[in-house]
Amino acid sequence: MFRTVLFDLDGTLMDSHRMVIRCYAHLFEKYGDPKDFTEEIQNEVFGPPLHVEMVKLFPDMDPDFMVQEYRTFQKSQTWDDVMKLFPHAIETLSFLQKENCVMGIVSSRLSTSCNDWLEKLGIASYFSIVLGRDQFAKAKPEPDGILDACRLLQADPDHCMYVGDNASDVIAAQRAGVYSVGFISEESTKEDILQSGPDACIYDLIELIDIVKGR
């Protein structure tokens, strides 16, 4: 029986795809060539930490500066027209809460930003812990964030699952020794997630109910 359920945030509970694309598009317009922001690169920017992507995509720029530019632009917009929860997120979280599952967030987003979005989307009260990238040593696919969450929650990894929308999430869960669930929220990530070998794959968050029930 799963007693602890940890989630990634972007692309898992929160559909931030269009926001992320717009932020990177802004950087390419201001510091590069918009033509270089191809569909292939757009599919690659989800999952890796911002700093890693800035080194890769803007090799002639200071990555710390580019990360700050990304975050400054993101904070300057409201995003009300594009940000939303994935379907059945509330139903799934409510079920898990009724089952007395302890829930947490382990995200590559900064913790303050995680908390801000959880509040805006009305789901902050479901989570006992929120760990952003600034609160653990090594980014996914390393298991640090998941292991830290288990330790802080006094959770047994054998009764914990981690749900994420990227192969790096699956690998981090595997390395942490918890049950790995790959959420395929974008067709572009499907192959990488399947190749990473998750314990389960879902296409809708509501499918977590059957997993928790042991079906």
Domains of the chain: 4-15+85-212 (3.40.50.1000), 17-76 (1.10.150)
Answer yes or no: are the C-beta atoms of 105 and 114 closer than 8 Å. yes
Least confident of 36-50, 78-92, 200-214: 36-50
Residue 43 has pLDDT above 70, yes or no: yes
**DSSP-derived secondary structure for 88-142:** THHHHHHHHHHTT-EEEEE-SS-HHHHHHHHHHTT-GGG-SEEE-GGGSSS-TTS
Residue 94 has pLDDT above 80, yes or no: yes
**Rounded distance between C-alpha atoms, residue 10 and residue 165, angstroms:** 8
Residue 41 has pLDDT above 70, yes or no: yes
**pLDDT value of position 55:** 97
Among candidates 64, 54, 15, 6, which has minimal Cα distance to 32? 54
The mean pLDDT of the chain is 95
* pLDDT grade for 214, boundaries at 50, 70 and 90: confident
Q: Which residues is 104 bridged to in the sheet?
A: 6, 129
**How confident is the model over 19-35, as a mean pLDDT?**
96
Token look-up 């009764």 returns 159
Answer yes or no: are the C-beta atoms of 150 and 121 closer than 8 Å. no
Answer yes or no: are the C-beta atoms of 70 and 24 closer than 8 Å. yes
Residue 47 has pLDDT above 80, yes or no: no
Answer yes or no: are the C-beta atoms of 26 and 122 closer than 8 Å. no
**pLDDT value of position 46:** 85
Higher pLDDT, 44 or 59: 59
pTM greater than 0.75 (yes/no): yes
**How confident is the model over 80-84, as a mean pLDDT?**
90
Residue 59 has pLDDT above 80, yes or no: yes
* pLDDT grade for 215, boundaries at 50, 70 and 90: low
**DSSP-derived secondary structure for 53-69:** HHHHH-TTS-HHHHHHH
